[in-house]
Chains A and B, each alone.
Chain A
Amino acid sequence: MLNEELVKFFASNVKSDFYGDIRLNESEGTRFVVENSKVRKVSQTSDSGFGLRVMKNGVWGFASSSELSKKSIKTALDSAYSYVNSKIKSKIRFEINPEMNVANVKVPWQKDIRDIELSKKLALVKAVDEAARGKETVSTLSAYSDVVIHWIQGSTLGNIVSFYESYPNLGVSSFIKDSSGIQSIRKTLGGNCGFEIFERGAAEKLGKTVLEEAKNLIGAKVVKGGKYDVVLDPSMTGVYTHEAFGHATEADAILAGASVLEGKLGKVVGKDTVTIIDDPTMPGARGSFKFDQEGTNAKKRVLVENGLLTNYLNTLETSNRLKLEPNGAARSMDYSCRPIARMSNTFIKPGDFKDDIYEGIKEGIAFYGFQYGYVDPGSGKFMFKSQYGRMIRNGKLAEFIRDAALTGSTLEILNRIDAIGKDFSLDGGTCGKEGQWVPVTSGGPSIRVRQVVVGGQ
């Protein structure tokens, strides 16, 4: 069991001319993998440790250990000091002024996943796997995972917060075969919440949806490459918003000169119909949290308001260096990682378009469901691949297509959005940066973008 005693021990052992903070972390998790109705993998994880930081004269020293003891903290402190006391100095200067929160937040969710019997979790993943099977499927792959994390964090200034995070997640893939080979659709359901997320048939519905969408891929062809007008569904809108735009608002990238949004605060970056929000306060969402990993209260951040860039995602360091307000964006994967600027639940605000979003498109492509993608925040270049697509011909949805991918530059695409839908949904995922993976969601409405390069054969 974690206790605050180690935080106090740490604070009392940091040299008086240093700022220091520490994160203690304990996690317990379960995972079941079911393939083709058979239980393939059963596993449990249990992890604990601490990560501490000290800072003086603009240099951080960080050290972590999987051993939660006073002796380990002292050893780690010596390691951390060795970086700060290096003969090589930095010209960078900043102050760390945390919110002086003192809080002990109890488990907030309705059905604690630790109270749910393992057999019930296994039954759930078996049911979703079964629902994803049909006569068209060649195989199914389903996984249930959960993890409950207890964090205690505090600093040499006296702030200390204790809180829990709980991430149940269910994922299912259905594989179908046609003459072109095997195609698959995958969907997930999860949040920072309790087991209640899987109630009222949500899991079975997930399996059935995957099967139905997979069937659409039978006979689907690869699109011909070229430039098209495109409509992105909420999932693909979310990926653009998160990957192409959101990463460029992370203030550590701004300071490193590695973002296309550097120097653009207060300037127009997109059409005046576009508003982009990052909000970690959405109840139960996978990217939500009560405190960030520097003990700052989570806050809703409007990144773009009517086309104007209004904010970056800040840690205590970046906000001080950029002379902005801290906004609770410091996140770390676990105790072994230092907190860095990250997103939470990132989305475009919905507009007014419905089916008229396809109007005026002579030959275009509608993209559905994110498969994978990547972005270079420094140049703004990105590439995203959808799970499937549909041709748009003369303003109407036409035949299904497979392996549809698009590429572009962050700001050019933001300026080519000319219609925003009324629909809205968020997709859960896990975002990677500097080797750290944190739970997030991304989404928004459907959007129409003019003249985008689409890859094909």
Chain B
Amino acid sequence: MDSESILRAIRRTKLDAEFDVRIIEDHSSSLSIERGEFVGGQTNVGKEANIRCLYKERSSSVHLSINSIEDLKLGIIRSYKLAKTLGSEDGQSKFSMQKHINKPNPFSKKIDTVKNYDVLSMMLDAQKEASNLEHIYSVNIFSGYSHTNLCAANSNGINGDWKGSSAFLRAEVIAKEGAEQTTGSKGAESIDPYGIDFDDVVIKASNVASRMLGAKSAPTFKGDLLLSPEVSNLIFGEFVSAMNGEDILKKRSFLINKKDQVVASKLIKLREENWLKRSPYNRQFDDELIPTSSKDLVSNGLLRTYLHNIYSAEKTGEIPTGNGFFGLDGSSIDTTNIVLKAGNVKTEDLISRIKKGIYMLETGDSPNMATGDLSAMVMNGYYIENGEIKYPVKETMVGVNLLDLMKNVSVLGSEYVGLDGIFTPALIVNNVQVSGK
């Protein structure tokens, strides 16, 4: 199925409403290694459609698994009936009318010829090397790859096709000494498994696990925070989420009324790039068929834009920014690639600049999006004093408002990670509350 066949299906219904249809075909494979043993693999094949209908400014959506053009037609009729009887009165007034330029897509030609044996061998080799390290108790590795075909069209005659591929690796390592047990986990992504350094990821996870042995609670104090690229990734992901135009509209974001205002240190140069080499997150049009774009999000410390789908753009009087992506709850707002420009200071030099602080390697927290307040557990991390790592920490939390955190970024590092389409370096934040013993 391609976008032309969707266009024809929409036109043939001859219903007095507008439709916007997106079909995704996905083929994925994954493999698991448990403590050095191959325990199984998985293949998933799925095809699903998302159909949106606008009937006299009332909207509905239908999401269904489909196997034929007939299924699609039935879905279109279902969305029509739903919009006509109980459609939302607070939807967008139109679908995309913007033509986009078809660019070469990020599809890896290698993805169709990936051999599970090759991937498994890379996983096992990495596992063996890590298992030989001191204190390493168990190494569990998961890897997978997929290719996706997306085709979309709407009643305005706008259509597009996109083909993408992706691969991931995740290593979870346990270190043990006596009764104490610690964990280290690392992940990596690319457009095929051959773009991932399996050994590097698994060894890094193992090093984190073994170095966390002997952790204790840090003191309670106000000091500096060194964020690893992974923690920086998580924090900047949340910061970009706060630019969501729907949350701005509904007054549920701490970035409301902050456009063109100072929201960060002048060091922060944050951009959306819709095209990066070997990124699985490249797209030339969003899920609403609006062209995506590369743009400044924060520069010179100022917030340059909010992120809009058609709905939030209409309601706020702005223009769609090509950020309409469907989430679990239907039409939502998301991004392609987010890039925070790195600095040139190595991590060991970042550590040496901290008088008293915490080096945060891992957390899982997200802030209160309405206030920006963040209370985050140091899942893995170190206490630093006078430029030296003193000990690994546990039962330690940091508390900071995200706007204060952004404004207090004082140094950007050169160590870099790209996960979930967000590319961030390590960095230092001054004046953060640490809660421990």
Which residues from chain A sit less than 8 Å from chain B, CB to CB?
Answer: 31-33, 35-36, 38-49, 58-67, 72, 76, 79-80, 82-83, 86-92, 118-119, 122, 138-139, 141, 175, 177, 180-184, 222, 225-227, 255-258, 260, 336, 338, 372, 374, 376, 378-383, 385, 402-405, 407-409, 453-457
Contact: B370 with A183, CB < 8 Å? yes
Instruction: Select the residue from A46, A58, A72, A409 with max chain B CB neighbours within 10 A.
Output: A46
Contact: A258 with B48, CB < 8 Å? no
Contact: B39 with A379, CB < 8 Å? no
Across chains A and B, which 3 residue pairs bring their CB atoms closest together, nearest first?
A: A225-B435, A257-B138, A455-B397
A376 closest partner in B (C-beta) = B183
Neighbouring A residues of B366 by C-beta, 8 Å: 372
| Cross-chain contact of A383 among B183, B372, B377 (Cβ < 8 A) | B377
Known A-B contacts A225-B220, A258-B183, A376-B183; A409 and B395 likewise in contact (beta carbons under 8 Å): yes
Contact: A381 with B397, CB < 8 Å? no
B62 closest partner in A (C-beta) = A44
B437 at interface by CB-CB < 8 Å = yes
Contact: A86 with B45, CB < 8 Å? no
Contact: A83 with B41, CB < 8 Å? yes
> Chain A's nearest CB lies how many Å from the CB of B303?
17
> Chain B's nearest CB lies how many Å from the CB of A193?
23
| Cross-chain contact of A455 among B64, B89, B364, B377 (Cβ < 8 A) | B377
| Cross-chain contact of A457 among B90, B217, B373 (Cβ < 8 A) | B373
> Chain B's nearest CB lies how many Å from the CB of A18?
13
Known A-B contacts A258-B172, A260-B181; A64 and B44 likewise in contact (beta carbons under 8 Å): yes
Cα A43 to Cα B371 with chains together (Å): 30
Contact: B138 with A258, CB < 8 Å? yes
> Chain B's nearest CB lies how many Å from the CB of A35?
7
Instruction: Select the residue from B35, B42, B88 with max chain A CB neighbours within 10 A.
Output: B42
B90 closest partner in A (C-beta) = A38
> Chain A's nearest CB lies how many Å from the CB of B394?
6
Cα A404 to Cα B174 with chains together (Å): 30
5 A-B interface contacts by CB (under 8 A): A42-B88, A118-B82, A405-B375, A409-B395, A455-B399
> Chain A's nearest CB lies how many Å from the CB of B211?
13
Known A-B contacts A44-B78, A256-B140; A119 and B39 likewise in contact (beta carbons under 8 Å): no
Known A-B contacts A86-B38, A118-B86, A258-B183; A46 and B64 likewise in contact (beta carbons under 8 Å): yes
Known A-B contacts A92-B37, A184-B370; A380 and B435 likewise in contact (beta carbons under 8 Å): no
Known interface pairs A41-B331, A403-B368, A456-B397; 11 further A-B residue pairs with C-beta atoms within 8 A, sorted by A's residue number:
A32-B86, A58-B39, A60-B40, A61-B42, A90-B37, A226-B220, A227-B437, A258-B183, A378-B181, A453-B217, A455-B376
Cα A404 to Cα B397 with chains together (Å): 11
B254 at interface by CB-CB < 8 Å = yes
Q: Mark B355-389, 1 if CB is under 8 A from A, else 0.
A: 00000000111101011110111010000000000
Known A-B contacts A42-B86, A43-B330; A456 and B60 likewise in contact (beta carbons under 8 Å): no
B195 at interface by CB-CB < 8 Å = no
Contact: A257 with B394, CB < 8 Å? no
Contact: A48 with B45, CB < 8 Å? no
Neighbouring A residues of B396 by C-beta, 8 Å: 407, 453
B124 at interface by CB-CB < 8 Å = yes
B61 at interface by CB-CB < 8 Å = yes
Known A-B contacts A258-B140, A258-B174; A44 and B40 likewise in contact (beta carbons under 8 Å): no
Contact: B251 with A138, CB < 8 Å? yes
Interface range on chain B (Cβ under 8 Å from partner): 35 or more
In chain B between 390 and 436, which residues have their CB closer than 8 angstroms to a CB of chain A?
A: 394-401, 433-436
Contact: A182 with B371, CB < 8 Å? yes
Contact: A175 with B370, CB < 8 Å? yes
Neighbouring A residues of B121 by C-beta, 8 Å: 88
Contact: B39 with A92, CB < 8 Å? yes
> Chain A's nearest CB lies how many Å from the CB of B98?
23
Neighbouring B residues of A39 by C-beta, 8 Å: 86-90
> Chain B's nearest CB lies how many Å from the CB of A350?
28
Cα A89 to Cα B33 with chains together (Å): 11
Contact: A456 with B399, CB < 8 Å? yes
In chain B between 66 and 101, which residues have their CB closer than 8 angstroms to a CB of chain A?
A: 66-67, 75, 78, 82-83, 85-91
Contact: B120 with A409, CB < 8 Å? no
Cα A226 to Cα B174 with chains together (Å): 29
> Chain A's nearest CB lies how many Å from the CB of B180?
9
| Cross-chain contact of A82 among B48, B89, B116 (Cβ < 8 A) | B116
Known A-B contacts A60-B40, A181-B371; A47 and B436 likewise in contact (beta carbons under 8 Å): no
Neighbouring B residues of A41 by C-beta, 8 Å: 61, 88, 91, 329-331
Contact: A63 with B330, CB < 8 Å? no
Cα A377 to Cα B364 with chains together (Å): 13
A143 closest partner in B (C-beta) = B329
Cα A358 to Cα B41 with chains together (Å): 52
Contact: B43 with A257, CB < 8 Å? no
Cα A174 to Cα B401 with chains together (Å): 22
Contact: A226 with B435, CB < 8 Å? yes
> Chain A's nearest CB lies how many Å from the CB of B226?
18
Contact: A225 with B397, CB < 8 Å? yes
Contact: A64 with B371, CB < 8 Å? no
Contact: B375 with A455, CB < 8 Å? yes
Q: Mark B6-50, 1 if CB is under 8 A from A, else 0.
A: 000000000000000000000000010011011111111111100
Neighbouring B residues of A79 by C-beta, 8 Å: 43
B149 at interface by CB-CB < 8 Å = no
Neighbouring B residues of A65 by C-beta, 8 Å: 44-46
A173 closest partner in B (C-beta) = B252
Neighbouring A residues of B250 by C-beta, 8 Å: 35-36, 139, 141
Neighbouring A residues of B40 by C-beta, 8 Å: 59-62, 83, 338
| Cross-chain contact of B37 among A58, A87, A405 (Cβ < 8 A) | A58
Contact: A182 with B38, CB < 8 Å? no
Neighbouring B residues of A33 by C-beta, 8 Å: 329
Known A-B contacts A62-B40, A380-B181; A83 and B371 likewise in contact (beta carbons under 8 Å): no
B198 at interface by CB-CB < 8 Å = no
B67 closest partner in A (C-beta) = A67
A67 closest partner in B (C-beta) = B67
Neighbouring B residues of A38 by C-beta, 8 Å: 88-90
Contact: A62 with B43, CB < 8 Å? yes
Contact: B41 with A61, CB < 8 Å? yes
B65 at interface by CB-CB < 8 Å = yes
Cα A184 to Cα B400 with chains together (Å): 19
Neighbouring B residues of A66 by C-beta, 8 Å: 45-48, 65-67
Known A-B contacts A58-B37, A256-B140, A405-B397; A182 and B251 likewise in contact (beta carbons under 8 Å): yes
Neighbouring A residues of B330 by C-beta, 8 Å: 41, 43
Contact: A139 with B252, CB < 8 Å? yes
B284 at interface by CB-CB < 8 Å = no
Contact: A118 with B85, CB < 8 Å? yes
> Chain A's nearest CB lies how many Å from the CB of B218?
10
